[in-house]
Amino acid sequence: MSLLTSSFKDYKELQLAYSSPAVVLGIFRHISLKAQHFLMIFLFLDRMDEKSLVKFASSATEADEVLQELKSLMLYTCTGGNISMHAEVQKQLKAMLNGPILCTLRTKSKPDKRKPTIEDIYKITQNNWKNLIDYLIGLRERVSVSILRLLLHSGLVYQNGQEFPKTSECFRFLLKPQSIQIEFLLKHILAASSDKVKTAVFLFNLSLAELGRDYSTKDTNRGIIEDLTEIGLLFKCKQRSKRYYVAPPVIGLLTDSSKPIPLTEKFLTVETNFRIYAYTQSDLHIVLLSYFLKLEYRLPGLVVGFLTRDSVCDAFKEGLNANQIVDFLKNHSNSVPQNVSEQLYLWEKERNRISEYESYMLEEFADISLYRSTLNFAQGSGAYLWDNFDRRVIILHKSKAEPVLKYLQSLDRIVS
């Protein structure tokens, strides 16, 4: 599971995190079905011969892949050809069979006097999330310093003097569904935190939280709660309040693979003539579309644009690829005509087919032997790009041409 593996360099920390049922559940729900299947086989076995494991997979390579996946998460140990499951994980998984895993976040003993309605939580957290996105698409001027730090850390923006321009990672981020965006940010919050085990346990538990229930801020450090509140993943009535509520999109995000993926709005109509009609009033949609469309008309509730070679190539330059654009179109429309998606791939292919190098050309060689020796030298020095024997032409990387030129000069001296 990406959220964990990339954050924990230290296996000890990972082991500690496994003492939390929420973490184990989160891991279990996010590994591949095959890996889940393997874990279930292990559940009541103390150890198993590595070779007999192949029986449970369709092929040796598959067994290997699954073991790799489990190993990256430290879910099993192997001693003398015998495989056994991580004891703590085994225990947690067994417990899971007996009943639901409960959220271990601490609650307040006294009820909240200013308890917000669920609608309020929805509205305010949604609005805060929108503010973040608006900042990323350039419709808002600023975010708080700590969020900016998070964005820098997660590579969505970079620092250039006083400016914080968006990276190409940011363009890709924006085209993704919200659940993936949230997971991405949580991963970076975890990676940046000082006590990773504590944070991981906290974040996984958020996913088990109950909508509309208040929790105490004691489970993790203030900074994380503030950040999560600012980007609309948690809700607090007042900044100084000691209790928080969890935003709906976070609930179930990490631990519930059966959570229905919210239906993405099918607001796009893609035509065979490369026109795209977007039934939307959302600024976010418009900005996203502007990344790869030539926008033409904006009507109340309808945006009309054109997919052109130039507009798409601009998007490629920003770091998007054809697959991401096609995915975006497919996610948001009922169908993408084949000629349009193929064309996007062709544009990309065409772009990748040509590379330009600054180069240096050598010609008018006095004789064949000079040509040959220069060629040899150039090939040896790594400066060689292309040559043509008939025309006695050699082309070199400009940046690496220097030694070859020196070599030629030295030959000159010998000749003269």
Partner 1 sequence: MEDRLPAKRRIRSPPESISKYFDFDFSNFKLKENHQELPLWICSNGHIFLETSAPSYLQITDFLIAIAEPISRPEHIHEYILTRYSLYAAVSVKLETEDIVSTLQRYSKTLEIPSSVIDFININTAQYGKAKLVLKQNRYFIESPYENVISDLLNIESVRKGKEAASDVNMEIQESHVEDVKEEMIRIMDGENPEDIEKVESCCVANEYIPQIRQDCHKENFPLIEEYDFIKDDKSPRLEIDLKPSTHIRSYQEKSLSKMFSNGRARSGVIVLPCGSGKTLVGITAICTVKKRAVILCTSGVAVDQWKRQLEMWSTIDPALIACFTSQNKDCTIDVAKACVVISTYSMMGYGGKRSAESASVYEKISRVDWGLLVMDEVQVVPADMFRRVIFDVKSHCKLGLTATLVREDNRIEDLNFLIGPKLYEANWLDMQAQGFIAKVQCIEVWCPMTAEFFQEYLNAKPRKKLLLYVANPNKLMTCQYLVKKHEAMGDKIIIFSDNLYIMELYSQHLKLPMIKGNVGHSERSRILFNFENTNACNTILISKVGDNSIDLPGANVIIQISSHFGSRRQEAQRLGRILRPKINSMDNDFNAYFYSLVSQDTQEMWYADKRQQFLIDQGYAYKVVSLTEEIQRQNDLMFYKKEDQKTLLEKLLQARDMDDDIQVDPDDITPEAMSKKSADAFSSNTSTTTSRSYQIQAHSRNRLFADRYKKFKKNK
Q: Which H or E run includes 235?
A: strand 234-235
126 lies in the binding site for partner 1 (CB under 8 A): no
| CB nearer partner 1, residue 56 or residue 277 | 277
Tokens representing residue 403 in the block? 């030694």
Long-range contacts of 112-120 (CB under 8 A, 24+ apart): 112/214, 112/237, 112/243, 114/237, 115/214, 116/235, 116/237, 116/245, 118/211, 118/212, 120/235
| CB nearer partner 1, residue 98 or residue 272 | 272
Binding to partner 1 (CB under 8 A) within 15-54 occurs at none
| Range in contact with partner 1 (rule: CB under 8 A) among 98-106, 107-115, 254-262, 268-276 | 268-276
356 lies in the binding site for partner 1 (CB under 8 A): yes
Site for partner 1 (CB under 8 A): how many residues? 45
Cα 66 off chain centre by: 22
Selection from 70, 37, 11, 30 nearest residue 204 by Cα: 30
| CB nearer partner 1, residue 224 or residue 395 | 395
267 lies in the binding site for partner 1 (CB under 8 A): no
- What is the DSSP-derived secondary structure letter of residue 80? T
| Range in contact with partner 1 (rule: CB under 8 A) among 57-65, 90-98, 201-209, 331-339 | 331-339
> Site for partner 1 (CB under 8 A): which residue of 178, 343, 373, 381?
343
- What is the DSSP-derived secondary structure letter of residue 52? G
Shortest distance (Å) from residue 364 CB to partner 1: 14
3-state SS, residue 370: helix
Shortest distance (Å) from residue 313 CB to partner 1: 9
Tokens representing residue 230 in the block? 């600012």
In one-letter notation, the amino acid at residue 295 is: L
The structure tokens 């798409």 sit at: 312
| CB nearer partner 1, residue 313 or residue 411 | 313
321 lies in the binding site for partner 1 (CB under 8 A): no
Q: Are 367 and 327 in contact (CB under 8 A)?
A: no
Shortest distance (Å) from residue 146 CB to partner 1: 26
Shortest distance (Å) from residue 188 CB to partner 1: 28
265 lies in the binding site for partner 1 (CB under 8 A): no
Directed axis angle between helix 168-175 and helix 322-332, to 10°? 20
139 lies in the binding site for partner 1 (CB under 8 A): yes
How far apart, in whole angstroms, are the C-alpha atoms of residue 250 and residue 129? 12
| Range in contact with partner 1 (rule: CB under 8 A) among 26-34, 125-133, 222-230, 266-274 | 266-274
Shortest distance (Å) from residue 350 CB to partner 1: 7
> Site for partner 1 (CB under 8 A): which residue of 271, 372, 379, 406?
271
The structure tokens 């179109």 sit at: 329
Q: Are 307 and 272 in contact (CB under 8 A)?
A: no
Site mask for partner 1 (CB under 8 A), range 273-312, x = bound: xxx-x---x-x--xx--x---xxxxxxxxxxx-xxxxx--
338 lies in the binding site for partner 1 (CB under 8 A): yes
Cα 167 off chain centre by: 13
Which distant-in-sequence residues (6+ apart) come within 8 Å of 179 by Cβ? 249, 253, 261, 262
Site mask for partner 1 (CB under 8 A), range 213-252, x = bound: ----------------------------------------
How far apart, in whole angstroms, are the C-alpha atoms of residue 115 and residue 170? 36
Shortest distance (Å) from residue 46 CB to partner 1: 53
Q: Which residues bind partner 1 (CB under 8 A)?
A: 139, 269, 271-275, 277, 281, 283, 286-287, 290, 294-304, 306-310, 337-339, 342-343, 346-347, 350, 354, 356-361, 395
